[in-house]
Chain A
């Protein structure tokens, strides 16, 4: 069955609006009648990714393909890339600034949370070029 496709441009300039795309996507999934547990897992994973793109990469794009049995989220940015993915996946490891921590993020839980709430998380990253995350949420 063909997927429903949703595209979002993530503004990297404005931290206070970060998360808007995840909010819109959550409402779409609710309208489509997905189970609340799947919606929550999808929303949290996408939200963490969106916040990461704003904090680290000056924004990017989010593309979500919705199938009856899974939701595929692709987040792509042209930020600095992740030099050490293994380290970035450890809970508590963070390269965020004090300023970001004062806003309630940068605790080193972003990527671990994305992994926690999805069936699969694939990270393609190159230092100085950017990062592409592909997450699959089962329904």
Chain B
């Protein structure tokens, strides 16, 4: 699945790195604890989270992730957006809850982060 399809499925707004929307991803990970993301997520995933701080972007960078989806309409600060922009990470904001966003993507074939 490409990131543009994820944005469409979640009716999400794109806030950074729009030129990366054709990037293909195969799995996703949902979590608000960044230490758990570092422990259990694999590379090249989509991170779905409700946590809003620059460490979310740095955690994604450490794992070579391509996209962060902020749920419940949570708006990241300009600092978060520019850090993602500078590192080719797509930020999306959806009004969906974490449960609904994860369910939607899982239902369309995106895998859990340990399955690829």
Seen from chain A, the residues whose Cβ lies within 8 Å of a Cβ on chain B are 15-19, 22-23, 26, 36, 40, 43-44, 47-48, 51, 101, 103-110, 112-113, 116
Contact = CB atoms under 8 A, between A and B. Distances in A.
A105 B35 contact: yes
Given A16-B54, A18-B55, A40 B62 contact: yes
Nearest to B62: A43
A106 B79 CA distance: 23
A65 B59 CA distance: 23
B111 interface: no
Chain B interface size, as a band, is 20 to 34
B36 A44 contact: no
B53 A26 contact: no
B45 to A, nearest CB: 12
Contacts, number: 70
A107 to B, nearest CB: 4
Interface in B31-74: 32-36, 38-39, 43, 51, 53-56, 58-59, 61-64
B32 A109 contact: no
Contacts of B79: 16
Q: Top 10 closest A-B pairs, CB basis?
A: A109-B35, A104-B34, A19-B58, A107-B35, A43-B62, A107-B33, A104-B51, A16-B54, A109-B39, A47-B62
Contacts of A18: 55, 58
B58 A109 contact: no
Contacts of A43: 61-62
A113 B62 contact: no
A109 B59 CA distance: 14
Most buried by A among B34, B62, B63: B62
B58 A104 contact: no
B34 A26 contact: no
Contacts of B59: 47, 104
Nearest to B51: A104
B62 A103 contact: no
A3 B111 CA distance: 40
Given A26-B61, A44-B38, A109-B33, 8 more contacts: A19-B62, A40-B63, A44-B63, A101-B33, A103-B55, A104-B32, A105-B35, A109-B36
